[in-house]
């Protein structure tokens, strides 16, 4: 089991601090309440139910105890991820540092004049 892997599982128990999940590979894990969804979860019992099928992502794994820390939130955020954010720049012109190079001589002259 590696961090970042995705598994299907079933909710086997719910406590105020998180939900226990039995994974398809026989491992058990915990979805902490902060990893259930983006934002605040007031009542975990209204969000998850025992026996509910879930897809989770591994955020940590203890090889000694064979227990995993799981997340639903990371998969939720992955679905809403925008592949390209609009930036207010002129990067689409592919001009690199040319405007700086063109202005450098003028800036050096102005700087030297200022220092005199």
Q: Nearest-CA neighbor of 11 among 43, 48, 36, 61?
A: 48
Q: Cα dihedral sign for 2, 75, 70, 59?
A: positive
Model confidence over 55-110: pLDDT tens digits? 999 999 888 888 889 998 888 877 766 555 555 555 566 666 777 888 899 999 99
Here the CATH number for the domain that contains residue 32 is 2.40.50.140
93 located within any domain? no
75 located within any domain? yes
pTM of the predicted model as reported, rounded to 2 decimal places:
0.64
Burial of 36 (0-12, 13-18, 19+ CB in 10 A): buried
Number of compact structural domains in the chain: 1
Q: What is the mean pLDDT of the chain?
A: 84
Alpha-carbon distance of 110 to 36, in angstroms, equals: 58
């Amino acid at each position: 089991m590696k961090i970042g892997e995705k598994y299907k599982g079933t909710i086997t128990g719910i406590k105020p601090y998180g939900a226990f999940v039995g994974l398809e590979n026989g491992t058990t894990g915990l979805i902490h309440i902060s990893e259930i969804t983006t934002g605040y979860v007031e009542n975990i019992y209204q969000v998850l139910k025992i026996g509910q099928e879930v897809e989770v992502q591994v955020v940590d794994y203890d090889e000694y105890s064979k227990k995993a820390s799981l997340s639903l939130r990371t998969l939720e955020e992955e679905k809403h991820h925008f592949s390209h954010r609009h930036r207010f720049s002129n990067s689409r012109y592919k001009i690199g540092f040319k405007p700086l190079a063109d202005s450098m001589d003028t800036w050096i002259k102005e700087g030297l004049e200022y220092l005199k």
